[in-house]
């Protein structure tokens, strides 16, 4: 069992048995005894043959040793626990490093039990996995547990159901369904995206969802990405549902004849992509099998690389700022499985590196995590809980223009290759939607909220004026709803608050007489009576400026 981003885990083969939650308490109690005993950790190595002999009864570790042997390892690292009497009480295969002794282990908690296929392969045996957390101090553990508790309250799958935004069904595992309220939020996201891209000089295109095998072979996806693609046959020919939008964009470019004066071309596409994800990795909107990607392909001259990368970074900054999201940058370099020449990769990597250096925001290097066709800049956004999510990516590609024989005419009248950028800002729109649900805890800002205002008459005597108020709000382009059901006012207010609405307007005798509205604002409570026209102007401003 290794360390992971949030804690650690260990896998067990219990045959037909399984761990129960109460078992974790027993194991934790025993761990505390061991920690109190101050057992020392000591590292030693054994040649492959001796290591296999030592672990001959553990088929899983024998398999791991054999893999290490294929990679050229000659020795296997072990650690042993030594008690106060100097006796070896536990030995395990591990690279380390370890602490000096168990007494240095700070606060810890065994968190949960889950099933896990051996090596993540569903064809292998299901093992029992115990997850744990460890910190130097109890205060740090307590703080983290509070964060986890808050994250659970914000879980987009839970809030999506409660707020009637989206749903999932067994008949379409990994394929989300969006409800009317969810579609309102979606449309607001798309409206803003289109406005920002129009302003930044992009034109929008659309390409087909299903394209032939020949195209995917040409792009390199058939050889490098086929295990993630859904394929079908049409008229006895192999076709694939697109996992990415890029090859369609190549075909559109190839149709035209461009000169150096026409570049850059910035083409954006909200494209529906499908990728085969293992059932165990599916996670609501965060990991789905079908998703819309806010893609764009920029075709340019080499002397335009820096300026275009700056343009994408500035656009990403503007868009994330609109949602109150901060972020950091990472440069990801050539992966093990890739296409293209060393020269093309070096050129592309240097192009991104030089642009980032000049941009001056600072970035981390992420070796070997680029796309198979080019290096990339990844943008990781930080949400309200301080968690980071990889959203935007900017990939510089000199390989696909070569594969598709793309050209433009330079100032000398010669045919030369363009360079291209692949980029997304939201990434998967579904995933970004889920991030926003958790970031705002379902309480969307006014401009995104599926329902912005709810009008509540105190009793049926005030229905007529309440309807007049609601009609004026709707006429002003606000998403308002009249709730004059027979339930008590307090219950209707509670229902509106549960729906996390930005504003509630209460209409009673005084409001009707004065032609005003009693305003209740989310988080701020009762704001008192306001003139309706003034209130509408305030909301129109809040909407237009997209205030969070």
Marked catalytic residue, from 246, 391, 423, 439 = 246
- Structure token pair of residue 321: 């700022």
Marked catalytic residue, from 39, 188, 293, 395 = 293
Marked catalytic residue, from 422, 423, 439, 479 = 422
- Spell 460-493 as b/e; 16+ CB within 10 A means b: eebeebbebbbebbeebebbbbbbbeeeeeeebb
Give CA separation, 532 vs 97, 454, 501, 529, in Å: 67, 14, 18, 9
Q: Rounded CA gap, 70 and 67, in Å?
A: 5
Catalytic: 512? no
Cα 88 to chain center, whole Å? Answer: 45
Cα 392 to chain center, whole Å? Answer: 10
Marked catalytic residue, from 376, 454, 500, 520 = 376
Marked catalytic residue, from 242, 266, 274, 297 = 297
Q: Would you say 433 and 285 are in contact if contact means Cβ atoms under 8 Å apart? A: yes
Helix 305-322, helix 342-359: angle, nearest 10: 50
Report the candidate in 536, 456, 470, 538 with the shortest Cα–Cα distance to residue 504.
456
- Structure token pair of residue 407: 């050209």
Give CA separation, 190 vs 269, 319, 446, in Å: 11, 12, 16
Count CB-CB contacts under 10 A for residue 124.
13
Convert 396-431 into a string of H (helix), E (strand) and C (coil): EECCHHHHCCCCEECCCCCEECCEEEEEEEEEEHHH
Catalytic: 156? no
Catalytic: 412? no
Which residue has tokens 């007494």?
103
Q: Would you say 514 and 498 are in contact if contact means Cβ atoms under 8 Å apart? A: no
Catalytic: 422? yes
Q: Quote helix, strand, coil % in the chain, to nearest 5.
A: 40, 30, 30
Q: Rounded CA gap, 141 and 144, in Å?
A: 5
Count CB-CB contacts under 10 A for residue 218.
17
Cα Rg of the chain (Å, integer): 29
Catalytic: 94? no
Q: What are the catalytic residues?
A: 246, 275, 293, 295, 297, 376, 422
């Amino acid at each position: 069992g290794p360390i992971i981003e949030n804690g650690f885990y260990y896998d067990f083969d219990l045959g037909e048995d399984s761990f129960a939650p109460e078992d974790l308490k027993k194991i934790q109690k025993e761990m505390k005894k061991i920690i109190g005993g101050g057992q020392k950790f000591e590292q030693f190595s054994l040649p492959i043959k001796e290591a296999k002999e030592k672990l001959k009864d553990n088929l899983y570790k024998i398999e791991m040793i054999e893999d290490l042997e294929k990679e050229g390892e000659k020795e296997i690292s072990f650690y042993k626990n030594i008690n106060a009497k100097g006796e070896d009480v536990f030995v395990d295969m591990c690279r380390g490093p370890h602490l000096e002794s168990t007494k240095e282990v700070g606060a810890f908690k065994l968190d949960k039990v889950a099933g896990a296929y051996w090596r993540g392969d569903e064809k292998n045996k299901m093992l029992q996995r115990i997850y744990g957390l460890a910190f130097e101090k109890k205060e740090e553990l307590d703080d983290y547990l509070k964060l986890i508790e808050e994250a659970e309250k914000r879980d987009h799958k839970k809030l999506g159901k409660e707020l009637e935004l989206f749903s999932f069904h067994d008949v379409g595992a990994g394929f989300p369904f969006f409800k009317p309220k969810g579609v309102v939020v979606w449309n607001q996201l798309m409206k803003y995206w289109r406005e920002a891209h129009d302003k930044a000089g992009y034109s929008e295109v659309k390409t087909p969802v299903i394209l032939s095998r020949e195209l995917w072979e040409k792009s390199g996806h058939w050889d490098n990405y086929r295990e993630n693609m859904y394929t079908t046959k049409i008229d006895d020919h192999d076709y694939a549902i697109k996992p990415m939008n890029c090859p369609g964009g190549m075909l559109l470019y190839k149709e035209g004849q461009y000169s150096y004066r026409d570049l850059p071309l910035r083409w954006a596409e909200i494209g529906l992509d499908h990728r085969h994800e293992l059932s165990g990795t599916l996670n609501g909107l965060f990991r789905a099998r079908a998703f819309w990607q806010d893609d764009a392909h920029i075709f340019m001259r080499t002397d335009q690389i820096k300026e275009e990368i700056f343009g994408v970074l500035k656009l990403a900054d503007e868009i994330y700022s609109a949602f109150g999201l901060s972020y950091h940058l990472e440069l990801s370099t050539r992966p093990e499985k890739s296409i293209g020449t060393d020269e093309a990769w070096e050129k592309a990597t240097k192009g991104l590196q030089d642009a980032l250096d000049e941009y001056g925001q600072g970035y981390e290097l992420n070796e070997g995590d680029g796309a198979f066709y080019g290096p990339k800049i990844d943008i990781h956004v930080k949400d309200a809980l301080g968690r980071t999510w990889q959203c935007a990516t900017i990939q510089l590609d000199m390989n696909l223009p070569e594969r598709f024989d793309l050209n433009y005419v330079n100032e000398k009248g010669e045919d030369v290759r363009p360079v291209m950028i692949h980029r997304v800002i939201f990434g998967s729109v579904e995933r970004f939607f889920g991030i926003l649900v958790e970031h705002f805890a379902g309480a969307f800002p006014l401009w995104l909220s599926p329902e912005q205002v709810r009008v509540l008459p105190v009793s049926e005597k005030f229905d007529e004026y309440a309807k007049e108020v609601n009609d004026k709000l709707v006429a002003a382009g606000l998403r308002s709803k009249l709730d004059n059901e027979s339930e008590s006012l307090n219950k209707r207010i509670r229902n509106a608050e549960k729906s996390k609405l930005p504003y509630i307007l209460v209409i009673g005798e005084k409001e009707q007489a004065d032609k005003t509205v009693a305003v209740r604002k989310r988080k701020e409570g009762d704001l008192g009576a306001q003139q309706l026209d003034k209130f509408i102007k305030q909301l129109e401003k809040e909407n237009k400026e997209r205030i969070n």
